[in-house]
Chain A
């Protein structure tokens, strides 16, 4: 069973860039889509976007201008960068696997990112 683990700073200053990495273990990262989803405290889930192992991306239009995703198949990792963050970006960020059918089969445990000075 594939396992996903998010990592990155838990605190980011306003206007700076949030950077997270998801490490995939127990299977190859190749030939799958990999998504990022976030969840503000006490609120629902928001899909941020996804990347295929070829590097092609789909982003949520509401965040597209600030989002960059990348993949490193040699390290079995993929990453998220969200620029110009504000307090509204404070959330638990999840990485997940999408087998190309537009739903998430496997999820990381999530990592809390707080935007504050």
Chain B
């Protein structure tokens, strides 16, 4: 049971927009700690996709965007492409556990 809750899977057709939610609590996201997102392509290491709730590292397309509100955060992907098919993880800090925490991951399927 992950501290941050994500849907196990989402899907969309090429060109469409999809969102992935990440729900936490008052000891992590709701406490004001930033949310970060990682993309893990099959068989590879995770890659930082969004940091500080809504910032993209250099090289990440602007099709990817992040937001945060209350005890939840979301990752949006627009103009879906086949290469976006991957697992996506949210991550934050939990003050009651004193750990960096991850969501359980969401598998994105491009139809």
Contacts and interface: CB of A to CB of B under 8 A. Distances in A.
A103 B34 CA distance: 9
B77 to A, nearest CB: 19
A101 B34 contact: yes
A35 B48 CA distance: 14
Given A94-B45, A107-B47, A102 B93 contact: yes
B45 A61 contact: no
B24 interface: no
Report, nearest first, the 9 A-B pairs whose CB atoms are least far apart.
A103-B36, A47-B100, A107-B45, A45-B102, A44-B105, A44-B104, A102-B93, A60-B99, A110-B45
Contacts of A47: 99-102
Question: Which of B36, B38, B45, B97 is packed against the most chain A CB atoms within 10 Å?
Answer: B45
A61 B99 contact: yes
Given A94-B46, A108-B45, A102 B89 contact: no
Contacts of A16: none
Contacts of B99: 47, 60-62
Interface of A: 35, 44-47, 50, 58, 60-62, 94, 101-110
Interface string B87-111: 0010111000111111111000000
B36 A61 contact: no
A44 B89 contact: yes
A109 B36 contact: no
A103 B101 contact: no
B51 interface: yes
A47 B100 CA distance: 6
A43 to B, nearest CB: 8
Contacts of B38: 45, 104
A45 B46 contact: yes
B64 interface: no
Given A61-B97, A103-B51, A107-B46, 17 more contacts: A35-B100, A44-B104, A45-B46, A47-B99, A47-B100, A58-B98, A61-B99, A101-B34, A101-B52, A102-B33, A103-B34, A103-B52, A104-B91, A105-B51, A105-B57, A109-B45, A110-B45
